[in-house]
């Protein structure tokens, strides 16, 4: 008589989603009550009065465009790996495509400088255009060349990482809006980006459906349509007039106020370490979960991670209004992330424990991203912000290229070692925040707009 071994596929409980949803709801709903009791002289960022109507109108306009851009970014990743397998791309070729993508991102680190000189809105429009090109490319070819699509998407992702933030900061300053509105926008960007990525997963699954033969190209059609809507809507208002400055003047200012300021070097280092750890996580999270043949519904875990990031972003306004130093908050979050990755790297754990650690890691990301944006507003001149962010990501992309080559081609390092490198980078980032706090804030008082 044969023995039947039943195998179960792990999936998160429905109570996890309910907990994340209720936690986000309570954090958002109770914050205005806390603010009115703790600081009655301040206006709630959720209020809508005549003095803030213009600020809120632009904020909603921007968040709509940013959410749309986030959906475009997410749609390509829903069936990204499956699409490669569907078109017969081997694992070795997949590694090559990843190297091409990060190599392209590394060699276009100057795009931030271009955005500062040409105007951030034009670069944001380029982001939508690149998505249209990839969508059309995949629709008109039966067997698309993925290295072309990968290069375009890498450029689009690089633009996404700095252009929208720079644009909203410059436009906010130009219109003379209050600083608390900008701080609110930073955490709402993280919140809506995470929600949009979850939405893109829903849209992608709905478009593809059960018929993979006919539905595999459906996300491309959706991307084209949404990108066109984004271009039309973005062209309606807020023209984002570029600054009248020559490259020579910009170079002098950049060397003086960016390269010559050690505090900005610390911010750049922290941003690079965070970027490296996030990319390493998304490359290795699935192999870590399915190690030793464990079966997992990855598609159900993905919303948990992004939901945790949404929850982490809602903590940001509470900490800001609690009069805590931003550097302290970020340093503690970096330390927690570093310990979490250290445990994940070298300690074999059950799937539930791993998912919990992954969720905590992303909750810290939700807090760190708007906090770093706030620090950049304190230390980095707006007219140089795009160049500073894009150049700070270059070391991270170079490190990613290195570990991918060592792991994918030469097999000289293991996944655990790569995760340990990411953990070490997070501890370094925490040290940068500690040093930044000791040096204190000394605004660029001699700075004049270009």
Name 254's Cβ contacts closer than 8 Å, sequence gap at least 6.
113, 384, 387
Question: Is 243-450 the same fold as 55-242?
Answer: yes
Segment 326-334 shows an average pLDDT of: 94
pLDDT digits over 84-123, tens only?
877 788 888 888 889 999 999 988 888 999 999 988 888 9
pLDDT for 146 beyond 90: no
pLDDT digits over 407-438, tens only?
988 888 999 999 999 999 999 999 999 999 98
Segment 387-400 shows an average pLDDT of: 95
Confidence of residue 152 (pLDDT cuts 50, 70, 90): very high
pLDDT digits over 361-372, tens only?
999 999 999 999
Whole-number pLDDT of residue 3: 42
Segment 380-404 shows an average pLDDT of: 94
pLDDT for 76 beyond 90: no
Class of domain 55-242: mainly alpha
At the topology level, CATH places domain 243-450 in Growth Hormone; Chain: A; (1.20.1250)
Confidence of residue 295 (pLDDT cuts 50, 70, 90): confident
Phi, psi angle pair for 236, to nearest 5°: -70, -40
- What does the domain layout of the chain look like in residue ranges? 55-242, 243-450
Q: Which residue has the higher pLDDT, 200 or 347?
A: 200
Whole-number pLDDT of residue 237: 67
Write down the residue that tokens 């302290």 correspond to: 328
Q: Which residue has the higher pLDDT, 92 or 338?
A: 338
Whole-number pLDDT of residue 448: 40
Confidence of residue 444 (pLDDT cuts 50, 70, 90): very low
Of the given ranges (43-57, 71-85, 266-280, 285-299), which has the lowest mean pLDDT? 43-57
Whole-number pLDDT of residue 239: 58
Global pTM reads 0.91
């Amino acid at each position: 008589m044969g023995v039947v071994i039943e195998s179960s596929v792990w999936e998160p409980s429905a109570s996890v989603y309910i907990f994340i949803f209720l936690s986000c709801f309570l954090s958002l709903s109770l914050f205005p009550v806390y603010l009115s009791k703790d600081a009655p002289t301040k206006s709630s960022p959720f209020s809508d009065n005549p003095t803030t109507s213009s600020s809120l109108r632009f904020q909603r306009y921007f968040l709509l465009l940013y959410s749309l851009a986030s959906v475009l970014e997410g749609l390509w990743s829903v069936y990204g790996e499956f699409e490669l397998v569907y078109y017969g791309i081997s694992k070795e070729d997949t590694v090559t495509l990843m190297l091409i993508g990060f190599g392209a991102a590394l060699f276009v680190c100057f795009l931030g400088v271009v955005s500062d000189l040409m105007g951030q809105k034009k670069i944001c429009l380029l982001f939508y255009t690149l998505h249209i090109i990839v969508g059309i490319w995949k629709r008109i070819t039966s067997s698309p060349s993925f290295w072309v699509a990968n290069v375009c998407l890498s450029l689009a992702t690089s633009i996404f990482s700095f252009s929208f933030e720079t644009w909203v900061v410059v436009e906010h300053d130009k219109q003379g809006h209050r600083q608390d509105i900008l701080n609110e926008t930073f955490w709402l960007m993280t919140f809506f980006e995470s929600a949009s990525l979850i939405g893109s997963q829903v849209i992608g699954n709905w478009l593809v459906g059960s018929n993979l033969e006919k539905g595999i190209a459906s996300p491309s059609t959706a991307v084209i349509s949404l990108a066109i809507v984004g271009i039309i809507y973005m062209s309606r208002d807020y023209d984002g007039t570029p600054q009248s400055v020559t490259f020579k003047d910009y170079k002098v200012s950049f060397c003086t106020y960016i390269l010559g300021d050690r505090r900005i070097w610390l911010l750049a280092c922290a941003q690079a370490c965070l970027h490296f750890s996030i990319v390493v996580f998304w490359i290795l999270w699935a192999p870590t979960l399915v190690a030793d043949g464990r079966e997992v519904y990855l598609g159900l875990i993905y919303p948990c991670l992004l939901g945790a990031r949404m929850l982490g972003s809602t903590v940001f306004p509470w900490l800001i209004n609690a009069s805590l130093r931003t550097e302290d908050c970020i340093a503690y979050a970096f330390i927690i992330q570093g310990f979490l990755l250290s445990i994940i790297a070298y300690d074999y754990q059950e799937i539930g424990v791993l998912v919990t650690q992954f969720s905590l890691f992303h909750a810290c990301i939700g807090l760190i991203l708007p906090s770093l944006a706030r620090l950049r507003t304190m230390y980095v001149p707006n007219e140089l912000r795009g160049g500073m962010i894009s150049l700070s990501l270059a070391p991270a992309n170079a490190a990613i290229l290195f570990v991918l080559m060592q792991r994918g081609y030469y097999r000289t390092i293991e996944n655990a070692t790569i995760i340990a490198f990411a953990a070490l980078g997070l501890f370094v980032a925490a040290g940068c925040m500690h040093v930044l706090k000791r040096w204190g804030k000394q605004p660029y008082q001699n700075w004049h707009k270009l």
